[in-house]
Amino acid sequence: MFSLSSRKRKAAAETSPWQGPLVALRDIHVRFGRQPVLREINLEVPRGQTLAIIGESGCGKTVLLKTMIGLVRPNRGQVLYKGQNLTRMSEAELAALRTRFGFVFQQAALFDSMTVAQNVSFPLRQHGYKTPGEIEQIVLARLAEVGLPESVLHRKPAELSGGMRKRVGLARALVMNPEIILYDEPTTGLDPIMSDVINELILRTRQRNPVTSVVVTHDMHTARKVADRVIMLYPLSRLRPDEPQMIFDGTPQQLDACTDSRVRQFIRGEAGERLMELREQASGAF
Amino acid sequence: MSGSITQAPAPRGLAAALANRIADFGELLISWAVVVGDISLFTLRTMRWMFTRLPRRETLMPNFYQIGVLSLPVVALTGTFIGMVLAVQSYQQFRNLRLETRLGAVINMSLVRELGPVLAATMLAGRVGSAMAAELGTMRVTEQIDALSAMGANPIHYLVVPRFLGCLALIPGLTIMADFMGVVGGAFYSIVVLNIDSHHYWVNSQRFVGSFDLFSGVFKSLAFGAAIALVSCHRGFNCDPGAEGVGRAATEAFVASFVLILVIDLQLGILLDALYYTLWPEGPSFV
């Protein structure tokens, strides 16, 4: 009886348009061994929003992003996608759900052994949705969208520049027409012009498709240009146990007006007392 | 500014030192239990995927080519030389006993029961096991394994099952090749170089080496192949970050595979011996 009603609820959830937040994180705690990384994170990402997650290196931005797609399982808390709890899903259910996600990795994470065409078409071939002819058309269209010519189709990732690899990674993330795209530091390691090309691609992707985006970055230019909303995480090692880890949540305009010294220091890129703190930590470790 | 040097207080007294030793030993045992549990779960997940959905042909074939075809020359070469070395090492002792013509029996028996399977597996662990650990380790470090998961593909199904099937399906063939080339190498050295009578060499070989010997070698090789694939893939999947981590995973994969080959060899040797004497209680006939 219970399973029947649960199945009915699931079927109803799939057919009727979801009114709540696309992704919701409830009381998320993540630790690796004895090292806590995320503490009591509560976050809702509405459909269509572009959220930027900023914060200094090691504060748990990427872990938070990977928690959203179930690549990192939280020690406590729930990850809800359209109300469905990812943390309780089987591997098969999670695999099916992930077809609605696109993930752009920091170093693109293209498969070395495959050509560009095979990389971009991988999700389509994996889920067997299209014929080879249709797949080729979709791959060409996606590569054209990110400004890559047909001549790169049969090249291996090692033969591409950093910017081209990132764009192939973006094309691969877009190939399944995802509802949400997660970007992990999309502009890191690129020159300023190529960084802005990636920013433009993020904006245009959103204009073309009604897609929700979460962008992890420490590039303030990217955060200001692409985001509707910005949150800032702070490393747990520098917080008191009663302080929240998310120290800012607002629009890019509110970010610029924020008076919190930690936020101001980050957005201005000022070291301040940080070097002294690092030296003290280093000397305390010996 | 705190510039003081902090360190853990040194244990005082015999009881404290003993407690520390016990705690260290306990920690070691726990870490071993964790590794064994982790490998067991990894094996179970691999088995589950093997019985639910087999990988596609285009995923299987490159792995089969790497594991089988590219390992064949080195396994054949090793077999040939081991056969000849056995002839060189055994000849003087057998000659002193005037039993030179029995040389074929000892060479071929050693090859098909022990040296063929163990050396083929060792070569596979060195050539393929380390490469698998390094490749999967690099994929882990560069987030390619995460990328597979993010695109809804299961990394165990996509990466481990084809390698496991490749090792399992092709190691018997590699073992038979090592056996065959060893027999050829041993016969060549004994008959051509040491001038042993070829008729008696082969007749004695035929009398002493039975089909059960060949079966036991090939049967053991299946277990070796499974162990190599699982241990190497597990090391790759749990690789530490950086070039050092990948290098360590490749080394650990070979060392752990080699130790497992020896342990499995001993255990299966005892088991197969017991099986032989259960099936044929009168033992092998040398008359």
Show residues of chain A in contact with B151, CB under 8 Å. 98-99, 103, 122-123, 126, 172, 176
Average pLDDT rounded to a whole number, residues B42-47:
93
Q: Measured between CB atoms, does B59 come within 8 Å of chain A?
A: no
Domain ranges of chain B: 21-279
Task: Kindly report which listed range (A9-18, A194-203, B214-223) carries the lowest average pLDDT score.
Answer: A9-18
The continuous run of DSSP H or E covering B135 comes out as: helix B130-141
At A283, the amino acid letter reads S
Interface test with B, best of A32, A91, A115 (most B CBs within 10 A): A91
Average pLDDT rounded to a whole number, residues B121-128:
95
Q: Which residues of A touch B (CB under 8 A)?
A: 66, 69-71, 91, 95-99, 101, 103, 105-107, 109-113, 122-123, 126-127, 172, 176, 276, 280, 283-284, 286
Instruction: Categorize the per-residue pLDDT at A238 as very low, low, confident or very high, splitting at 50, 70 and 90.
Output: confident
Interface test with B, best of A62, A81, A98 (most B CBs within 10 A): A98
Predicted pLDDT of residue B284: 66
pLDDT in tens, B177-200: 999 999 999 999 999 999 999 999
Per-position DSSP letters for A131-188, written without gaps between them: -HHHHHHHHHHHHHHTT--GGGTT--GGGS-HHHHHHHHHHHHHTT--SEEEEESTTT
In this structure, are residues B224 and B122 in contact, taking their beta carbons and an 8 Å threshold? no
pLDDT beyond 50 at B43: yes
Share of chain A above pLDDT 90, in %: 51
Average pLDDT rounded to a whole number, residues A40-51:
93
pLDDT beyond 50 at A148: yes
A3 in any annotated domain = no
Highest mean pLDDT among A230-234, A238-242, B7-11: A230-234
Q: Measured between CB atoms, does B40 come within 8 Å of chain A?
A: no
Q: Do B143 and A105 touch (CB under 8 A)?
A: yes
Instruction: Categorize the per-residue pLDDT at A184 as very low, low, confident or very high, splitting at 50, 70 and 90.
Output: very high
Show residues of chain A in contact with B139, CB under 8 Å. 112
Predicted pLDDT of residue A207: 84
B83 vs A3, more confident: B83
Average pLDDT rounded to a whole number, residues A185-198:
87
In this structure, are residues A103 and A97 in contact, taking their beta carbons and an 8 Å threshold? no
Average pLDDT rounded to a whole number, residues A47-73:
93
On whether ipTM exceeds 0.90, the answer is no
Q: Do A98 and B3 touch (CB under 8 A)?
A: no
> Which residues between 137 and 176 in chain B have a beta carbon less than 8 angstroms from any beta carbon of chain A?
138-139, 142-144, 146-147, 149-154
Instruction: In whole angstroms, give the CA distance from residue A127 to residue A71.
Output: 19
pLDDT in tens, B263-282: 999 999 999 999 988 888 87
Predicted pLDDT of residue A1: 39
Q: Do A283 and B3 touch (CB under 8 A)?
A: yes
pLDDT beyond 70 at B62: yes
A169 in any annotated domain = yes
Q: Do B149 and A98 touch (CB under 8 A)?
A: yes
Predicted pLDDT of residue A33: 84
Predicted pLDDT of residue B26: 93
pLDDT beyond 60 at B38: yes
Predicted pLDDT of residue B9: 58
Q: Do A106 and B149 touch (CB under 8 A)?
A: no
Domain range for A238: 19-271
Show residues of chain B in contact with A110, CB under 8 Å. 144, 147
Furthest-apart CA atoms within chain A: distance in Å: 63
Residue B156 sits at the vertex; the CA angle it makes with B52 and B69, to the nearest 5 degrees, is 95
Average pLDDT rounded to a whole number, residues A248-275:
86
Beta partners for A182? A103, A214
Interface test with B, best of A63, A99, A168, A286 (most B CBs within 10 A): A286
Q: What is the pTM of this model?
A: 0.84
Q: How far apart are the first and last CA of chain B?
A: 89
Residue B169 sits at the vertex; the CA angle it makes with B167 and B170, to the nearest 5 degrees, is 65
A262 in any annotated domain = yes
Average pLDDT rounded to a whole number, residues B131-158:
94
Total domain count, chain A: 1
Kindly report the CATH number assigned to the domain that includes residue A99.
Answer: 3.40.50.300
Instruction: In whole angstroms, give the CA distance from residue B56 to residue B58.
Output: 6
A282 in any annotated domain = no
